[in-house]
Structures are given as C-alpha cells and as structure tokens.
Chain A
Amino acid sequence: MKLGRSTYRFESNVTISDCFTVVGKKEGQGPLSIYFDMVIEDEYAGQKSWELAEGKLLNIAITKLVQRAGEKPDNIDLILSGDLLNQLSSSHFAARDLDIPFIGIYGACSTFALSVGLASIFVDGSFAKNVIAATSSHFCSAEKQFRYPLELGTQRPPTSQWTVTGAAAFLIKPEDSLQSPKITHFTVGRILDFGIKDPNNMGAAMAPAAFDTIMRHFSDTKRSFEYYDMIITGDLGYVGRKLLDELFKKEGIRFSSELFDCGILMFDPETQNTGAGASGCAASACVFGGYLYKLLRERTFEKILIVPTGALMSQSTALLGESIPVIAHALAIEMV
C-alpha cells in the first residue's frame, strides 16, 4: 500500500529469511571482521581480472545463500542485483551460470536498499515467493573505473572514501516466523543535486539525499524519530555524516534514537588508512547483512531504518564538469 508521496507499506509478512556476506581481506581485518560469513584473502578471488573477481564474490554470495537456505536454484523465482561497474558487468558475470531469472538494477551505493525494496514488492504482491536481492563492489575494479590505475603513486584527499570489496545476497520471502526480520516499509528517494562536483567528496554530495529521504519517510509514515531503535545511513562516511548532522541541526531536529553510518562502521580509520570511511554498494549491504541482521535476530535492536545513499556520477560526467546527482532509499526493517 502506498503511503504519502513515496513510501510503500508491505501488508504481508515480507521477511529477510537469510543472507550471506563475502568480503575481502581488508574488510576481514576491520572492526566487523567476526560478523562476515566468509573472507576471501585473494583480491583476484582466483580470477584473472578485477571485474571477474567482483563477479565471483557475488556469485559465491548468491550460491552459498541458496545452499544454506536449503533451497534448490529452481525454486528461486528471481534475482535482483546491481553493482558499480559499467553495464553492471559483475552482476551479469555472477548470474550467467545460475540459470535464474534476473533483473539488473543501478543505484550506485544505494543498490542494497533498491534491490531489497523491489524484491519486497515482488513478494508482497505475491508475484514471487523466493527472491534474491544482491549487490557487490570491489576496491580494485572501482579504482580502475572511477579513478586511476592501482599502482599510480597518488595521494588521496582527506574526503575520499575507500570502496568496500565484498558482496552480499539476501533471500526475501513470505514467512510467518518471528525469528526473521521483516521489511515493513520502503521509501523511494528522489534525485537531488546540490551542485557538488568533487567526485572525491561523495559523502558531501550524498548527505542531502539521506536527509530528504529520512524526512520523507517520517512524513509519509507519520512515524516519529523515537519509533526506531536505530537509524543508519549507507556510506556517507565521516564527512557526509557530519553534514547530515548539520542539516538536521538547521531544521532544529534532535535525535533520541541513534544515528549511525555503515561507511563509518566498516573500517578503523586509524589503523586501516581508509580516509573518510567506506563506500561502495557492499558497504551498506555487508554491514547490514553481516552485522545488523544478526543484531536484529538477537533482538538487540528491534526496529531499524536503513538509508543507503548513492552518488550517481560516471567518469565522463565528472570530466564534463557536471555536478553529482544523488539518491537515497530507505527500508524499515522490524522484528514484529
């Protein structure tokens, strides 16, 4: 059911029945290392290029998820997946041996919420019973596409963020179990552009999108900030997080619930030299799938709002001097 301008409420029990996360070596050394299902130390993951390596991570996440859930691949109705690469290369590589109906989606780093949200619509509308929502990113393939060759000796500006190497897959299905977190609301963001042009400062570009979608979610659902135990943004990092605080302060809004950011939780900036924090599709997907999902199951938190943000630039749009369009989608995930 649609609420307000852009929030969808799911009336049936749409649950995240299981998930699987795979991360790279650096992520496996970070503060959340013990929460991930699998760490792959080889940055090529046994493949011959970065693009194939990212595809491999995503393929592992999906196949392991299907195995662990005890499903047959034939019973999976649909995969919704996206990543950062041109033409969604790694998602397509990952899915080409799976023989499961596939829809590719692009939302840059907001892909996690987009894929899970759309999967929920398929399930809530009874069009499908078992839908996999997945996403991936890889530090090396992202550097190659968006920045410079890896071996080039450059300095990163302090605002730049570190792309997470990893993949996560979520099994969305109708379930009556009290054990599984339920997706209750999906707020679709709108494209904003506040004229930020620096591709090395994505946190600053994306903060207004997070602000807009959070405010939209509350006005659509008529919920108050106190309703959630935790509100968590995708990959704003330290710079974007601070700006989001400023935006809320300007509107005179104070938080009683905790405001977190997946890009900040992922790495330890002191020892891992990751600048302003983590970014990439896998940042929010792996932090949620690895860490928050388990906290929800243990009922440490019962109601969370996760708001992954995406900076929708390409290398050419940056060179053309265009500012960065941004978006954020929100998912309300609750133990009810």
Chain B
Amino acid sequence: MNIKDKKACEYQALVKANEPKTNSFKNCILAFLVGGAICDVGQAFLNLYSSFFPNDEAQVLTSITMIFLGAFLTGLGVYDKIGAFAGAGSIVPITGFANSIVSPAIEYKKEGFVFGVGSKMFLIAGPVLVYGISTSILVGLLYYLVKVFPGI
C-alpha cells in the first residue's frame, strides 16, 4: 500500500468515526406508525366497499382508491412531507408507489409530454417494475414446472 492509499484509508476511518448516526429506532417506530395508519385507511375503504361489492371487486377498488390518494397528496405537495417524516412507512404501501411515479411526472412536465413526462415518469419506479415483472416471470415458470412435473 503506498502512502496515498494509506492516507485515504486513514481518512475514511476518521470519517466513519465522526459520522452522525441515523436514529434507526426512532425511524422504525415512525415508519411503523405511519405505515400502519396508511394500511388502516386502506382497511377502512375495504370494509366500506365490501358491503356494496363482491370481495374481489372491493379489493381492486381499495387499491385504486389508495393509488389515487397517494397521487393526489403528491400533487398537493403533501406526500413528500409525510415521506420525510415516515421514511419506509410511506414508501412501502401502494401510495408510495403512486408517489414515485407522480413526482417525476410533475418535475419533468416542463420538459414536454413525450420526452419529459412520458420517458421520465418511471425514473424511480422503473427498476421496481423491471425487477418485479422479471421475478414474477421466473416464479411463474417455476410454478408451471412444478405443476407439470409434480415428481421434482
């Protein structure tokens, strides 16, 4: 190891020792409370819809409602404040997914509807879709093979 690398290593250790720590415990509690509250809202809608529609339709309607709420609150400029407070608590529910699509759409609208909104809307959600869909294909293939050849 030459002197330059050694100095860099020493400095990196110094940085690590002086880094302000993220308060994981507090963040977990906040994420749990806010994430739970979002799920409660979803459950309330599901209960409401269940008394008017068959179960599968009520579930779809609940998802649609929650996606709308996520998008709407993003448009009002509220969701990013919830996110700064709740972290994963507002990212993991489906409202977070809506936020990740609507926020770039708003940001890039000024760059036009085709190359702005159209191509940059999936800037954040894109990887989730790519790997989500790829994984579902793999799992589906496995499921199919197990069904066709129950012996393996």
B14–A151 CB distance below 8 A: no
Interface size class of A (residues with CB under 8 A): 20 to 34
Interface segment out of the listed B51-59, B80-88, B126-134, B140-148: B80-88
A49–B110 CB distance below 8 A: yes
Please provide the chain B residues from 82 to 124 with a CB less than 8 Å away from any CB of chain A in the complex.
82-84, 86-87, 90-91, 96, 99-100, 102-104, 106-108, 110, 123-124
A-side contacts of B20, CB under 8 Å: 158-159, 238-239, 276
Q: Of A49, A158, A239, which one neighbours B22 at CB under 8 angstroms?
A: A158
- Report the Cα distance A239→B21, complex, angstroms: 11
A154 interface hit (Cβ, 8 Å) = yes
Chain B: minimal CB distance from A152 (Å)? 4
A150–B80 CB distance below 8 A: yes
B103–A150 CB distance below 8 A: yes
- Report the Cα distance A207→B140, complex, angstroms: 52
Chain B: minimal CB distance from A137 (Å)? 18
B-side contacts of A195, CB under 8 Å: 8-9, 11-12
**Given that A194-B12, A204-B15, A246-B18 are contacting pairs, would A155 and B80 also be in contact in the complex, using a CB cutoff of 8 Å?**
no
What's the tally of chain B residues with a CB closer than 8 Å to chain A?
Answer: 38
**Given that A144-B107, A157-B22 are contacting pairs, would A149 and B15 also be in contact in the complex, using a CB cutoff of 8 Å?**
no
A-B contact list, 17 entries, CB within 8 Å? A144-B107, A149-B108, A150-B107, A151-B80, A151-B106, A151-B107, A152-B99, A153-B82, A153-B84, A153-B86, A154-B91, A155-B84, A194-B12, A196-B11, A196-B12, A201-B15, A204-B18
Chain A: minimal CB distance from B113 (Å)? 15
Find the residue from A151, A154, A239, A276 having the highest chain B CB count within 10 A. Answer: A151
Please provide the chain A residues from 141 to 190 with a CB less than 8 Å away from any CB of chain B in the complex.
144, 148-159
A148–B19 CB distance below 8 A: no
A-side contacts of B91, CB under 8 Å: 153-154
What 4 pairs between A and B have smallest CB-CB spacing? A153-B83, A149-B107, A151-B103, A149-B103
B-side contacts of A158, CB under 8 Å: 20-22
Please provide the chain A residues from 106 to 152 with a CB less than 8 Å away from any CB of chain B in the complex.
144, 148-152
Chain B: minimal CB distance from A121 (Å)? 31
- Report the Cα distance A158→B8, complex, angstroms: 23
Q: Of A153, A155, A242, A247, which one neighbours B79 at CB under 8 angstroms?
A: A153
Other 6 A-B pairs with CB < 8 A, given A158-B20, A247-B14: A150-B106, A151-B106, A153-B81, A195-B12, A239-B19, A243-B18
B-side contacts of A243, CB under 8 Å: 14-15, 18
- Report the Cα distance A157→B87, complex, angstroms: 11
- Report the Cα distance A242→B15, complex, angstroms: 10
Residue of A whose beta carbon sits closest to that of B86: A153
A48 interface hit (Cβ, 8 Å) = yes
A208 interface hit (Cβ, 8 Å) = yes
Find the residue from A155, A204, A247 having the highest chain B CB count within 10 A. Answer: A155
Chain A: minimal CB distance from B38 (Å)? 11
A152–B110 CB distance below 8 A: no
B-side contacts of A153, CB under 8 Å: 74, 79-84, 86, 90-91, 96, 99, 103
**Given that A49-B110, A153-B83, A239-B19 are contacting pairs, would A148 and B103 also be in contact in the complex, using a CB cutoff of 8 Å?**
yes
Find the residue from A148, A153, A156, A243 having the highest chain B CB count within 10 A. Answer: A153
B36 interface hit (Cβ, 8 Å) = no
Residue of B whose beta carbon sits closest to that of A245: B18
- Report the Cα distance A151→B98, complex, angstroms: 11
